[in-house]
Chains A and B, each alone.
Chain A
Amino acid sequence: MTAYFFRRLLGLIPVLFGISVLVFSFVRAIPGDPARVMLGERATDESVRQIRQDMGLDRPVVEQYLKYMGGIFRGDLGTSIFSQIPVSDDMKRRFPATLELSLAAMLFALLVGVPLGILAAVRRNSSVDNIAMAIALIGVSMPVFWLGMIMKYIFSISSKVFPPSARLDDILSFSFVPITNMYVLDGILRLNPTIVWDAMLHLVMPAVALGTIPMAIIARMTRSSMVEVLSQDYVRTARAKGLVQRSVIWKHALRNAMLPVITVVGLSFGGLLSGAVLTETIFAWSGIGSWIYEGIFQRDYPVIQSGVLLVSFVFVVVNLMVDMSYAIFDPRIQYR
């Protein structure tokens, strides 16, 4: 199995190389000259040329690519054209924000989706099943940004249950020094319950909005997988020997029904990362999604490049982990 893992890891290299070439050429193809955007409409051709030279934009594309890739391995991702801040600084601040949001969204999706799916499978063809699957179907059909706005209207404007946007209260964030930039975790590390509570309050609505689609997909997957497992002989045996329903479902059936669900969780993770573009815009969550989005409008090459690369790398790696997890969770599968 170790050999299999190793081979899969090696197989990542050409994919990551392909992604980096594609992203790099994509970003070059965005119309509009960043030097011109940076200096404004009235800049002289002379100064535009000067800036292009400073940024290395006048060099051949292959040279620019090699230089950029060389930089990545040294931890240098260039400087944002717009803010003049090193891209890696921004990324260290924003990636944990998106990661925190995605993890919270996935937690919501699992906590709601799995029980909903189990319930529907156990009470198959009953009204409970119908209601659960109707919820799931509405979930997959939901425009996430709209759901976010409706929640914001109900829970922040009409009633003040949750804060409408940002990641922390203004007053709190003024004096708070983050460690990992995942605020809930940072609050715990700093032993500051006020921060933990406030960060969690800010997290609820964006996480629910972002997690709705994966929740629905997980619920549907859990149901169909459970239905199949529950009809198998070993489950009948378990019932025949007099085990109680709870034990049959949680101990015997669920473990085998979870395998397809793991796949769905992994695949949804990429959806979470790109769905974050919409969710982060609605809730003013300063993560990777809103970063890429702003980058596109400002023609900020280094930002778009690094942001998209990061998201696709994470996506590919998570998918690989899902594949590998089969080897661990399903002992029937042999890998050589």
Chain B
Amino acid sequence: MLATAKIETPFSIIRRRFRKSAPGKVGLVLTVLFIALALLAPVLRPYDASMDGNLSEKFKPPSLQHLMGTDDLGRDIAVRVWHGAQISLRVGVISVSIALFIGSFFGFLAGFFGGWFDTVLGWITDLMLAFPGTLLAIGIVAISPKPSLETTLLAISIVQIPIYIRLARGSVLGLRDLEYVQAANALGANRLRVLFKHLVPNALTPLLVQATLSIATATLETAGLGFLGLGAQPPTPEWGTMIADAFRGAYWDSAPWTTIFPGLAILVSVLGYNLLGDGLRDVLDPRAVN
């Protein structure tokens, strides 16, 4: 009888491993749910989350009508939190993509070519990493003419660039002297072709795991800057800014729901990214599996 051998492709291995990773699954569900909510926000509740309020309805505790209560201007907090998901997702994804692209591009070049470029870049990364991240972000926001969501986005991606430079450089260095790369070199392949065709695809794994975890950091930092008044400005329904409104307006203690729900939204979404990142690491890095 002929045995039907099951052929395992790399993709099916990854899928099988991912199914075994409990944190990965929970993270994936949370993240997908969160992205869906963010994308659906303007479609399902087409309110203006910044403006639509009813002053006679202000400071109402959570009820069936207003699931998360209302704030000082009688705006529905659930609607604002929902729309905030979109802002948070946008800032997280865009800032991390910028950092990932710029950082790994320079990191790959530095790791592959070495020489003075590597030295100078190393010096710049060391210098940038010599500042605690949040402080650097605050500094960058402070020199922009007016705090806004865009400056937050920029600050967060600049802070993360050195991390990707290091990671990309490190993973190219680890691959540079392997036999298959030497073979490509020996066959006379163009240097840039060797780098981008042969090395980069194999060096991407740690970068992608880091990117997932970076979105978590970016979300926390966006909220932190918003809370300090250095990020998105009211009436933007950004979660950190909403909490800051309640704190500065001194109504967070008499109407705690104005603070609790935006904070929970931050916590749950960051938790989702972190779980997904942990899961991806388990799957993509076989050594990390217990």
Contact = CB atoms under 8 A, between A and B. Distances in A.
Given A271-B132, A273-B135, A315-B131, A141 B274 contact: yes
Interface string B102-130: 00000000000000000000010011001
Contact of B263 (A26, A143, A227, A274): A143
Given A149-B259, A275-B134, A315-B132, A143 B224 contact: yes
Contacts of B227: 143, 145, 278
Nearest to A31: B145
A323 B74 CA distance: 54
The 3 closest A-B pairs by CB, nearest first: A146-B263, A274-B132, A270-B132
Contacts of B278: 137
A146 B266 contact: yes
A19 B135 contact: no
B243 A145 contact: yes
- Grouping DSSP codes into helix (H, G, I), strand (E, B) and loop, the A interface class, with mixed when no group exceeds half, is helix
Interface in B46-65: none
Nearest to A26: B139
Nearest to B243: A146
A260 interface: no
Nearest to B137: A274
Given A18-B123, A137-B23, 7 more contacts: A143-B220, A149-B263, A153-B259, A227-B290, A275-B134, A281-B228, A293-B138
Contact of A153 (B133, B143, B256): B256
A114 to B, nearest CB: 20
A270 B129 CA distance: 10
Nearest to B252: A149
A51 interface: no
B267 interface: yes
B69 interface: no
Contacts of A275: 134
B232 interface: no
B274 A277 contact: no
B259 to A, nearest CB: 6
Contacts of A62: none
A157 B132 contact: no
A138 B230 CA distance: 26
Contacts of A140: 216, 274
B145 A22 contact: no
17 contacts: A19-B127, A19-B130, A19-B131, A26-B139, A30-B142, A31-B143, A140-B274, A143-B263, A146-B243, A149-B263, A150-B259, A271-B132, A271-B134, A274-B133, A277-B135, A296-B138, A311-B132
A316 interface: yes
Contact of B224 (A18, A26, A145): A145
A149 B247 contact: yes
Nearest to B253: A157
Nearest to A146: B263
Nearest to A21: B127
Contacts of A30: 142-143
B189 interface: no
Nearest to B288: A224
**How many A residues are at the interface, by size bracket?**
35 or more
B237 interface: no
A237 to B, nearest CB: 22
Nearest to A23: B139
A297 B142 CA distance: 9
A308 interface: yes
Nearest to A319: B130
Given A227-B290, A271-B134, A277-B228, A142 B267 contact: yes
Interface string B87-104: 000000000000000000
Contacts of B259: 146, 149-150, 153
Given A157-B253, A271-B132, A315-B132, A141 B127 contact: no
A43 B234 CA distance: 30
B143 A277 contact: no
A263 B258 CA distance: 39
Interface string A302-323: 0010001001100110000000
B134 A277 contact: yes
Contacts of B203: none
A153 B266 contact: no
B192 interface: no
Contact of B270 (A141, A273, A278, A296): A141
A308 B130 contact: no
A15 interface: yes
Contacts of A278: 134, 224, 227-228
B68 to A, nearest CB: 15
Contacts of A3: none
Nearest to A156: B253
Contact of B130 (A15, A26, A273): A15
A29 interface: yes
Contacts of B262: 146
B41 interface: no
B240 interface: yes
Contacts of B216: 140-141
Most B CB contacts (10 A, CB to CB) among A22, A145, A152, A304 go to A145
A171 B227 CA distance: 31
A26 B143 contact: yes
A17 to B, nearest CB: 10
Interface string B134-161: 1100110011110000000000000000
Given A18-B127, A29-B143, A278-B228, A137 B134 contact: no
